[in-house]
Amino acid sequence: MSKQVKTTCPYCGVGCGVLAELDESGRVTIVGDPEHPSNHGRLCSKGAALADTISYDGRLLYPEINGETENWSNATNHVAMKLKDTIAQYGADSVAFYVSGQLLTEDYYVANKLMKGFIGSNNIDTNSRLCMSSAVAGYKRAFGSDSVPCAYEDLERAKLVILAGSNAAWCHPVLFQRIKQAKLNNPDLFIVVIDPRQTASCTIADMHLAIAPGTDNILFNGLLVYLNDHDEVNQQFIKQCTNGLDKAINAAQKHAASVEVVSGLCGLANSMVSDFYRLFSRTERVVTVFSQGINQWSYGTDRVNAIINCHLITGRIGRPGMGPFSFTGQPNAMGGREVGGLSNQLAAHMAIENETHRELVQEFWQSPLISDKQGLKAVELFEAVHDGRIKILWIIATNPAVSMPNADFVREALSKCEFLIVSDCMRNTDTTQYADVLLPSQTWGERDGTVTNSERRISRQRQFLPIPGQAKPDWKILAQVAQNMGFNEGFNYSDSLAIFKEHAALSGYKNNGSRDFDISYFEKISAEDFWSIKPVQWPVTAQHSDGTTRLFSDGQFFTENKRANFIPVLNHQPANSCCDEFPLVLNSGRIRDQWHTMTRTGKSATLSAHTVEPYVEIHFDDAKTGSIEDGELVMVTSQWGTIVVRAVITQTQRLGSVFIPMHWNDQFSSKSYCGALINPNVDPISGQPEFKHTPVSITRYQPSWYGFLLSRRKLTVHNSSYWAATRGRGLWRYEIAGQDKPEDWAACARSLLCQHADQVEWVEYFDSAATRYRGARIENGHLESCIFIGPDFNLPERDWLSNLFTKDKLSDVERHSVLTGKPARGQKDAGKIICACFNVGVNSIIDAINNNNIKTVDEIGKLLKAGSNCGSCVPELSSLLNK
Ligand code: SF4
């Protein structure tokens, strides 16, 4: 009997509730959970396509040592002995863990306990360092604790929502939909987007402040000065609940004394800045959402505090519909913060530098020692691996060979590492290739535990799939290694519930309201209640057993004198400035339908249809300066590396800035991982790298030929100096280009597409003068594969050809049209896919708009279904309507 299980989406920090069902035939159905308070049944395209990503294809199923399959006992013993010997010889700081916001809280808790409590080093850091550690540092400086004060319902109760450095439409789509719906319900809700780029989030914006990159601290400092100068302040709150306003004002006045100065530095019109300031000052219920566009700078922490300062001066915090609200990137970035997954934090929001906290945790864990020295933060950690200070690195559930800045240096570090352990659910990632030991982890749908989303809401992830091979939960692998190292007592867990209860008990241990993170209500939770626990926002205590919607309602903070701190924010410049050699600013980030390094979402044809290839967005005038044409391949170079990607020329990009998505890896392209370009400079407080500002140059790649390949089978592409692969419906698609021309195109193409080329039906066309080759292999009446080569990138559109692969048999007309690459007259080409859920192409949408005089997205939905499911494509539909 199939059974529907309530669980949580494993992608972004929205933390949407999911109903998952596995039926007897093995089919998985995923829908949004209407009872989950974060999403009320909504899912974005990624959540809706989760079923596509559940396959054992490419999974790591057995432990391996040096490429040979091993049993668990030998593998964990080998790891334990290596750790013990190395620590004995070089000390505890010679080993490190690099973990992930993908882990469940229980996995995170055990990893942190092993490293900080029992190994005795704080060298455990997480990939959450890359996305929200500046938010953590900013909150801690202001509030004395890493406390996100708001709840999602504040977005609906606000009168002004500011999206600062947040493309929520693509990165937190369900929250974007909630904001959009709130605006429909309340047309007075005003929305401001602050972003150098005109992103999809701008489709609902009443005001878009396209600021010069890296000037948001100036904009918010100017706002602080404006509020102070115009007496738009909450004197009572300032007096009773805050410290240090004067110093913050003095610092802000140094570079943001007037609207005119701010406008000049931010590259905005005076009127826009003064309109924004007036709007903020006159609207009591303001939520300022901030995300990676604020955090990912060499002074990201200051940017966070510049925002918080404006909420403190107006007292707009702790009440419905207001507050500075960090949207976290990952599904359990918040859970990682709770257990101390960052190298400069202790468990349960306690501080390494606080002796009382160290003693308290040590006493609770009954652990041998806790170091008073902060551990290495991500960038420093890989530097220490590179120079040999770290001898053993254990990477769990993350792919730093792609995602870290200066990724080629990180790859070098991994290749030099004396002993590298990688726990992952996938066998072949850019990182696993360097591992000495591979440990197969259970993944979403197989594991059981908790995650915490951006609004402090703890939800359950539950198992509903069978466990493949010998995959184990990460907490179990860590506990086994810990026990093999001799730490029996501390790691004798029977299940994730036992860990959750211990985590809850630690949060309440000697707390008495002195620390923000307290879920002590759960320390004795039964197995039955743990199974059925409802999503709840911490703190959850005996007094607040239903959780806590928002923090600081009483104006009391977690600083020494219980008052929030204003932080003076200076005008910092990015670590590296543009110059003649690198004249453009690279900004990196997410796209709508991919997640992180594509190991999961790259499996879905639905999700891959939206963006098929790595690309760089360039402003029209910058492209003109470089004589770059839309659609050609370009080399993007920084001081740290070079990649090759497709040029997309657009007016939505700010002049002088370019954008590259962060997702592509070596499994999906020849060399397009954006991390290779990114500068490794970090925020001095948070250690978060500056992903939003790397000076780059762009030049034409100029291969001697371009091409593409569509095939029902996965191929190994050769003869190409550039390739990018993506899954389509029933096919693999390869974009290719090369410097060397083969002597015989037909032989080359046939060898690529087929081992027994002579026995199958081929149709071919070759114009040797123009170096234009087209070939198709037809088998049993259906199109098996095709290849198109030409001297430039002006090749036929791929969408119509791709659709032919969904057919069991080509019609005569289709067969005759294959080599032209376009439908015969009278036949339709749907065009590039916009709606991933219903596979609706741009041409179909434009035709529908024109032929039916359509004026709204709803009308498109009624006619074509596009935009009527997850809603992720709604911003693009709106933009097509506007055009
Ligand atoms: Fe998952 Fe999308 Fe919800 Fe994020 S918004 S949790 S990716 S369904």
pLDDT bucket at 755, cuts 50 / 70 / 90: low
pLDDT at 870: 75
Answer yes or no: are the C-beta atoms of 400 and 382 closer than 8 Å: yes
Alpha-carbon distance of 361 to 348, in angstroms, equals 9
**Residue to probe by mutation, ligand 1, list 8, 12, 330, 600, most atoms within 8 Å of CB:** 12
Tell me what pLDDT residue 235 has.
98
pLDDT of residue 507: 98
User: Among 71-75, 599-603, 689-693, which is the least confidently predicted range?
Assistant: 599-603
Please name the residues in contact with 278: beta carbons below 8 A apart, sequence gap of 6 or more: none
pLDDT of residue 752 exceeding 60: yes
The atom number, within ligand 1, closest to the CA of 38 reads: 3
- What tens digit of pLDDT does each residue of 329-358 get? 888 989 999 999 999 999 999 999 999 999
Tokens of 752: 């690529």
Rounded CA separation 224/229 (Å): 9
Confidence at 67, pLDDT banded by 50, 70, 90: very high
Average pLDDT over residues 785-791: 93
**List of residues 6+ apart from 223 with CB closer than 8 A:** 276, 277, 280, 310
- CA–centroid distance, 462 to ligand 1, in Å, is 16
pLDDT tens for each residue of 520-547 = 999 999 999 999 999 999 999 999 999 9
What is the pTM (predicted TM-score) of this model?
A: 0.94
Name which of 701, 723, 704 is nearest 613 in CA terms: 723
| 29-45 per-position pLDDT tens digit | 999 999 999 999 999 99
Q: What is the mean pLDDT of residues 424-436?
A: 97
At residue 323, the pLDDT reads: 98
Q: Which fold has domain 132-326?
A: Dimethylsulfoxide Reductase; domain 2 (3.40.228)
8 Cα to the center of ligand 1, angstroms: 9
| Per-residue pLDDT tens digits for 811-859 | 988 888 899 988 877 677 788 788 877 888 888 899 899 888 898 888 9
How many Å apart are CA 846 and CA 38, to the nearest integer? 34
Residue position matching structure tokens 């923090």: 551
> What is the per-residue pLDDT across 456-477, written as a single tens digit (0 to 9) for each?
999 999 999 999 999 999 999 9
**Ligand 1 binding pocket, CB closer than 6 Å:** 9, 11-12, 14-16, 39, 43-44, 46-47, 172-174
Local confidence band at 761 (pLDDT 50, 70, 90 cut-offs): confident
With CA atoms as reference, report the closest residue to 178 among 158, 160, 152: 152
Tens of pLDDT, residues 625-668: 999 999 999 999 999 999 999 999 999 999 999 999 988 999 99
Residue 52: its pLDDT value, please?
A: 92
Instruction: Please give the pLDDT value at position 756.
Output: 58
Nearest to 345 by CA among 523, 505, 146: 146
Strands across the sheet containing 761-767: 722-728, 731-738, 705-711, 782-790, 772-779, 761-767
Ligand 1 center to 494 CA (angstroms)? 31
pLDDT tens across 296-318, in order? 999 999 999 999 999 999 999 99
Ligand 1 atom nearest residue 12's Cα? 4
In this prediction, residues 379-397 reach a mean pLDDT of 98
For 115, half-sphere exposure in the C-beta direction (CA atoms, 13 angstrom radius) is 36
In the predicted structure, residue 415 carries a pLDDT above the cut 60: yes
What tokens appear for 468 in the block?
Answer: 């493949």
Segment (H or E) for 111:
helix 105-112
pLDDT above 80 (res 759) = no
Q: Across residues 389-408, what is the average pLDDT?
A: 97
CB-count exposure of residue 120 (10 Å: 0-12, 13-18, 19+) = middle
Atom of ligand 1 nearest to the CA of 43: 8
- The domains spanning 4-52 and 64-127+332-443+471-492 adopt the same CATH topology: no
CATH match of 833-882 with 3.40.50.2000: no
Q: Does residue 171 have a pLDDT over 60?
A: yes
Residue nearest atom 2 of ligand 1, based on CA coordinates? 44
pLDDT digits (tens, 9 = 90+) for 81-104: 999 999 999 999 999 999 999 999
Give the Cα separation of 225 and 68 in Å (integer). 64
- Which three-class secondary structure state does DSSP give residue 313? helix
- CATH hierarchy code of domain 64-127+332-443+471-492: 3.40.50.740
Q: Which helix (H) or strand (E) holds 6?
A: strand 4-8
Contact, 162 vs 276, CB < 8 A?
no
Q: Is the pLDDT of residue 366 over 80?
A: yes
Torsion, Cα 178 326 324 504, to 10 degrees, reads 100
Across residues 492-507, what is the average pLDDT? 98
7, 8, 9: residue to mutate for ligand 1 pocket, most atoms within 8 A of CB: 9
Taking all residues of the chain, what is their mean pLDDT, rounded to a whole number? 94
Q: State the distance from the centre of ligand 1 to the C-alpha of 232, rounded, in angstroms.
A: 37
pLDDT reported for residue 712: 93
Could you read off the pLDDT of 253-288 as tens digits, one per residue? Answer: 999 999 999 999 999 999 999 999 999 999 999 999
Q: Which of 7, 30, 45, 172 to mutate to test the pocket of ligand 1 (most atoms within 8 A of CB)?
A: 172
- pLDDT value of residue 751: 77
Average the pLDDT over 192-198 and give the result: 96
Ligand 1 center–CA 240 separation, angstroms: 39
Q: Say how many C-beta atoms besides its own lie within 10 A of residue 648's C-beta.
A: 18
Judge contact between 210 and 294, C-beta under 8 A: no
Supply the pLDDT for residue 1. 60
Do β-strands 772-779 and 782-790 pair in parallel, antiparallel, or remain unpaired? Answer: antiparallel
Residues 325/318, Cβ–Cβ less than 8 Å: no
The per-residue pLDDT for 599 is: 83
* Residue 785: band (very low, low, confident or very high) from pLDDT cuts 50, 70, 90: very high
CATH class of the domain whose range is 584-591+613-688: mainly beta
Q: What percent of the chain has pLDDT over 70?
A: 99
Nearest-atom number in ligand 1 for the CA of 18 is 8
Helix (H), strand (E) at residue 421 = strand 419-424
Distance CA 445, CA 9 (A): 10
Retrieve residue 293's tokens: 């566009």
- Per domain, the residue ranges of the chain are 4-52, 64-127+332-443+471-492, 132-326, 584-591+613-688, 705-820, 833-882
Residue 569 has what pLDDT?
Answer: 97
List, as one string, the DSSP characters of 536-555.
EESP--STTTT--SSS-TTS
Helices and strands, counts by H and E, the chain = 30, 34
Architecture of the 4-52 domain: 2-Layer Sandwich (3.30)
Q: Which residue has the higher pLDDT, 572 or 640?
A: 640
Q: Give pLDDT tens digits for 717-731.
A: 878 899 999 999 899
Which ligand 1 atom sits nearest the alpha carbon of residue 595? 7
